[in-house]
Amino acid sequence: DTGVSQDPRHKITKRGQNVTFRCDPISEHNRLYWYRQTLGQGPEFLTYFQNEAQLEKSRLLSDRFSAERPKGSFSTLEIQRTEQGDSAMYLCASSPGTEEETQYFGPGTRLLVL
Cβ proximity of 16 and 82 under 8 Å: yes
Which string of x and - marks every residue 47-86 that binds other proteins (by CB under 8 A)?
A: -x-------x------------------------------
Cβ–Cβ contacts within 10 Å for residue 23, how many?
Answer: 26
Q: If binding is defined by CB under 8 A, does position 40 make contact with other proteins?
A: yes
- The order of strands in the sheet holding 65-68 is 5-7, 19-24, 75-79, 65-68
Out of 44, 54, 80, 87, the only residue in the binding site for other proteins (CB under 8 A) is 44
Q: If binding is defined by CB under 8 A, does position 43 make contact with other proteins?
A: yes
Query: Contact positions toward other proteins, by CB under 8 A?
Result: 4, 31, 33, 35, 40-45, 48, 56, 89, 91, 93, 95, 101-108, 110
